[in-house]
């Protein structure tokens, strides 16, 4: 009976050692969501061009020049560069 009790103590020591190492070093890393924000990541790859249009506001006509950027994710950004009164 004495040998059997030593055997159970030995198994208990191994079991506690295994749970301690398993808790200290995880095998799987789970991350919810995207690693980086896709909106800002895709801003690096942009096609840029300049477009000019004539706009009437009341009696005045203006020539507006825009800088248009098309991003890889389909988003577009429009910036007004200049507005000059034509007539």
Q: Where are the domains of the chain?
A: 2-85
pLDDT tens digit sequence for 15-25: 555 555 556 77
CA-wise closest residue to 81 among 57, 49, 56 = 49
Question: Cβ neighbours of residue 43 under 8 Å, at least 6 residues apart?
Answer: 71
- Predicted local distance difference test score (pLDDT) of residue 62: 95
Q: Which helix (H) or strand (E) holds 16?
A: helix 2-24
Backbone CA torsion sign across 58, 63, 67, 69: positive
- Greater model confidence, 65 or 11: 65
pLDDT tens digit sequence for 73-85: 888 999 999 999 9
∠ CA(47), CA(49), CA(53), 5° rounding? Answer: 145
pLDDT tens digit sequence for 29-68: 666 666 666 666 656 677 899 999 999 999 999 999 999 9
């Amino acid at each position: 009976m004495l040998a059997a009790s030593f055997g159970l103590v030995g198994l208990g020591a191994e079991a506690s050692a295994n749970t301690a190492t398993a808790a200290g070093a995880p095998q799987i890393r789970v991350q919810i969501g995207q690693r980086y924000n896709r909106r800002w990541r895709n801003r690096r790859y942009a096609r840029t061009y300049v477009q000019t249009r004539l706009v009437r506001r009341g009696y005045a006509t203006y020539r507006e020049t825009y800088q248009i950027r098309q991003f890889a994710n389909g988003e577009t950004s429009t910036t007004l560069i200049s507005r000059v009164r034509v007539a």
